[in-house]
């Protein structure tokens, strides 16, 4: 059986722990590979390689580092089909969705190509008598990323793209459920011209995560996963003096006002709620129609749209989405569906019991729709992370605005309306980090930054964009004074700050 190794110091490295994780084919339910689980000794080896590589990489001028990023971008485009098929084979998302995963990561790499401009500091001439002040952004050193299964290409590139462009070396600990694409990305980064050791991939579980958070040579950690783990990662990393950004879960809402374009809204909801089998932190699993008339029209329009969705294997070009990641996750989603029934929500469409001919053991779920969900229900309060859409009816605009604002998660929210004043008021007042106006999945473009509020994000700086550059660098400010060549201008001994004189 195929073994997936670590990638340390520019080469594949077999593990020595004797422990492995199963990598399934979600389309069939069969184990297709085994991933090596690292020991702390292998993590130490990766960090030692990164420390040595980072010294020369940081000394490389920004435009030369940018050329490596340009070449990496070109290689991503050349290998797009290979990467998409590799990703779909382990994750289960359809090929078109896998290409989108890679493209959103590639866009951050494009942003990182502008690193010479982004690293420019500030300069003030004559801040005091003969005194000039200037600042520069310098890399932190060795940094790390811990990434989830749902975006095995995009999220690693969101992290290591800006980090490496800024002059750091990077340790990537990807999900053990779909680990092949991260290794391939590291190979392409090496091929693009990054020195061996600048990007290392260490496979592993909780033990390696905690070792990363404790290791004194790692200066910053970026994490994406569930909120409980994100909070513990943030606390443990901060305790050990690290800069940490930890992105957690979500329960994104879509507010539908009576004047919304209902056909367009329903089309948007199909992709936002059910795309990638709902395994997205920016999925839209809650829709809030305002007014009973709006709710009835929305429900009536959703039913035929859901009926038309095609669930298929990841290589089916006509499928709208494929299987979920594992049998355990499928069972968890099914448990939430039963919980919703037990809580008293109306199960309008039941996605359980779906079987795909020839792939009966695959991890498939058909779309599920609940109506008359209330804020007190656990199924509303918690993240389901599957192809389940819940209708929560609101009587007024103010009630609809309060739902996402009061929720424990504050990742993303959308409003569907033709009323500019309502949209502006909503965007201004809602307590959520990323807002879409007639945009169902409001993931910011690469030159802005990604991050939620409340239990969706821990830390002061968001991912990618200028926040990403700030996260992976530190500012050094220099105040300088030079004696005049003729010897004049020498002052007496002074005990005050020079710029104050």
At 130, which CATH number?
Answer: 3.40.605.10
Whether residues 347 and 236 fall in one domain: no
Mean pLDDT rounded to a whole number for the chain: 96
Write out pLDDT tens, residues 254-280.
Answer: 999 999 999 999 999 999 999 999 999
Whether residues 234 and 297 fall in one domain: no
Query: pLDDT value at position 291?
Result: 98
- Please name the residues in contact with 125: beta carbons below 8 A apart, sequence gap of 6 or more: 132
Whether residues 140 and 184 fall in one domain: yes
Whether residues 290 and 223 fall in one domain: no
Residue 483: inside a domain, yes or no? no
Q: Please state which of the ranges 58-67, 124-133, 156-165, 364-373 shows the lowest mean pLDDT.
A: 124-133
pTM, two decimal places: 0.95
Query: pLDDT value at position 357?
Result: 93
Concatenating the DSSP letter of every residue in 354-394 gives ---TT-TTS-----EEEES--TTSHHHHS---SSEEEE--B
Whether residues 206 and 306 fall in one domain: no
Using the predicted structure, report yes or no on whether residue 501 has a pLDDT greater than 60: no
Whether residues 225 and 97 fall in one domain: yes
The DSSP call for residue 273 is H
Whether residues 398 and 464 fall in one domain: no
Q: Which of 389, 409, 437 is the last residue of a domain?
A: 437
Q: Span 431-451, mean pLDDT? A: 97
Residue 136: inside a domain, yes or no? yes
Whether residues 83 and 172 fall in one domain: yes
Residue 413: inside a domain, yes or no? yes
Q: Span 440-458, mean pLDDT? A: 96
Query: pLDDT value at position 500?
Result: 45
Write out pLDDT tens, residues 249-258.
Answer: 999 999 999 9
Residue 221: inside a domain, yes or no? yes
Number of structural domains, the chain? 2
Residue 443: inside a domain, yes or no? no
Query: pLDDT value at position 489?
Result: 58
Residue 306: inside a domain, yes or no? yes
Whether residues 191 and 334 fall in one domain: no
Query: What domain range includes position 269?
Result: 253-437
Residue 490: inside a domain, yes or no? no
Cβ density class 361-392: b for 16+ within 10 Å, e for less = ebbbbbbbbbbebeeebebbeebbbbbbbbbb
Using the predicted structure, report yes or no on whether residue 488 has a pLDDT greater than 70: no
Q: Which candidate in 281, 325, 392, 394 is catalytic?
A: 281
Percent residues over pLDDT 90 in the chain:
94
Q: How confident is residue 484, by pLDDT bands cut at 50, 70 and 90?
A: confident
Residue 308: inside a domain, yes or no? yes
Q: How confident is residue 83, by pLDDT bands cut at 50, 70 and 90?
A: very high
Whether residues 334 and 240 fall in one domain: no
**Which domain CATH number covers 315?**
3.40.309.10
Whether residues 56 and 189 fall in one domain: yes
In contact, 164 and 66? CB cutoff 8 Å = no
Whether residues 327 and 466 fall in one domain: no
Q: Is 281 a catalytic residue?
A: yes
């Amino acid at each position: 059986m195929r073994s997936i190794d670590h990638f340390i110091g520019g080469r594949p490295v077999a593990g020595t722990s004797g422990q492995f994780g199963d990598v399934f084919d979600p389309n069939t339910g069969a184990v297709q590979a085994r991933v090596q689980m690292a020991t702390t000794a292998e993590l130490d080896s990766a960090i030692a390689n990164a420390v040595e590589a980072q010294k020369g990489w940081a000394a490389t001028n920004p435009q030369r580092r940018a050329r490596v990023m340009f070449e990496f971008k070109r290689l991503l485009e050349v290998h797009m089909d290979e990467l998409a098929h590799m990703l779909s084979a382990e994750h289960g998302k359809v090929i078109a969705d896998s290409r989108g995963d890679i493209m959103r990561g590639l866009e951050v790499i494009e942003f990182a190509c502008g690193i010479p401009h982004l690293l420019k500091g500030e300069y003030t001439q004559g801040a005091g008598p003969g005194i000039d002040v200037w600042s520069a952004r310098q890399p932190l050193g060795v940094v790390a990323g811990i990434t989830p299964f749902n975006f095995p290409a995009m999220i690693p590139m969101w992290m290591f793209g800006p980090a490496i462009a800024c002059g750091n070396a990077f340790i990537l600990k990807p999900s053990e459920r779909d680990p092949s694409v991260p290794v391939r990305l590291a190979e392409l980064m090496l091929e693009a011209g990054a020195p061996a050791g600048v990007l290392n991939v260490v496979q592993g579980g909780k033990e390696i995560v905690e070792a990363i958070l404790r290791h004194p040579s790692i200066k910053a950690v970026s994490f994406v996963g569930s909120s409980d783990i994100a909070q513990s990662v943030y606390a443990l990393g901060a305790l050990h003096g690290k800069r940490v950004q930890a992105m957690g879960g979500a329960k994104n809402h879509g507010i539908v006002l009576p004047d919304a374009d209902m056909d367009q809204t329903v089309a948007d909801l199909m992709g936002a709620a059910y795309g990638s089998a709902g395994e997205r932190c920016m999925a839209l699993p809650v829709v809030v129609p305002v007014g009973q008339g709006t709710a009835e029209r929305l429900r009536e329009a959703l039913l035929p749209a859901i009926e038309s969705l095609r669930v298929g294997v990841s290589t089916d070009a006509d499928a709208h989405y494929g299987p979920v990641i594992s049998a355990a996750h499928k069972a968890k989603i099914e448990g939430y569906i039963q919980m919703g029934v037990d809580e008293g929500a109306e199960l309008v469409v039941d996605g359980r019991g779906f079987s795909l001919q020839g792939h009966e053991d695959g991890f498939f779920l058909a779309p599920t729709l609940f109506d008359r969900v209330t804020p007190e229900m656990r199924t509303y309060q918690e993240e389901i992370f599957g192809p389940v859409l819940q209708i929560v009816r609101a009587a007024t605009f103010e009630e609809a605005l309060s739902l996402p604002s009061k929720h424990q998660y504050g990742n993303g929210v959308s409003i569907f309306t033709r009323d500019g004043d309502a949209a502006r008021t909503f965007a201004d007042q809602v307590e959520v980090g990323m807002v879409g106006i007639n945009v169902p999945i409001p993931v910011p473009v690469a030159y802005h930054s990604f991050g939620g509020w409340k239990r969706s994000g821990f830390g002061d700086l968001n991912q990618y964009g200028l926040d990403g550059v700030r996260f992976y660098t530190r500012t050094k400010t220099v105040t300088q004074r030079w004696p005049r060549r003729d010897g004049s201008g020498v002052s007496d001994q002074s005990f005050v700050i020079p710029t104050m004189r």
